[in-house]
Amino acid sequence: MSMYTGTFLRFIHGVLDEFREAEAFLFHTRLAYVSDAMKEKDAARALDRLSLLAQGAGGGTRIGESLATFNRWHAARVIHSRTCVMIVSDGYETGDSALLGREMAGLARRCRRIVWLNPMMGWEGYAPEAAGIKAALPHIDLLAPAHTLKSLAALESYLVKL
């Protein structure tokens, strides 16, 4: 995932710039609210703020725990019945995959759609077989590749219909 981080941060910045109601969170071993940092006009300052928020990155991905934190503390404030939740992850869970499935179910009940962008989907021979992504699949409305700018741009036709 780390090789895609710069592209995803630019993508998130564009989403936040285009959709004023959009909010952004990052997760690794914990969840971090990053909307304010991502809206920073000074790129160097934005990177400084993000690096402080990203402490713990590289220690695995605890998607289920991060979603549990999101659902408990943030979902009621930022999600409603018209919300499209976008998750950018390879789906590799170092925590409890069953927790990931339960938290995805709770998230799906709150929002209109869940779009999961997976950079691994652009790799030849990839199949979503990791336990984390398998637990999430029943709750995902669109599972799409996110390995190139072209694959991200292809989402536009889906997103404008929401």
Q: Give the pLDDT confidence score for residue 159 in this predicted structure.
A: 81
Q: Give the pLDDT confidence score for residue 24 in this predicted structure.
A: 94
CA gap 70, 72 in Å, rounded = 5
In the chain, the number of structural domains is 1
Q: Give the pLDDT confidence score for residue 54 in this predicted structure.
A: 67
- Domain of residue 79 covers 2-159
Q: Give the pLDDT confidence score for residue 1 in this predicted structure.
A: 64
Q: Tell the residue number behind the tokens 């408990």, with chain if given.
A: 72
Low pLDDT (below 50) residues in the chain: none
Q: Give the pLDDT confidence score for residue 118 in this predicted structure.
A: 94
Q: Give the pLDDT confidence score for residue 58 in this predicted structure.
A: 59
Could you write out the three-class secondary structure of the chain? CHHHHHHHHHHHHHHHHHCCCCCCEEECCCEEECHHHHCCCCHHHHHHHHHHHCCCCCCCCCHHHHHHHHHHHCHHHHCCCCCEEEEECCCCCCCCHHHHHHHHHHHHHHCCEEEEEEHHHHCCCCCCCCHHHHHHHHHCCEEEECCCHHHHHCCHHHHCCC
CATH of the domain at 94: 3.40.50.410
Q: Give the pLDDT confidence score for residue 56 in this predicted structure.
A: 60
CA dihedral (147, 5, 58, 144) positive or negative: negative
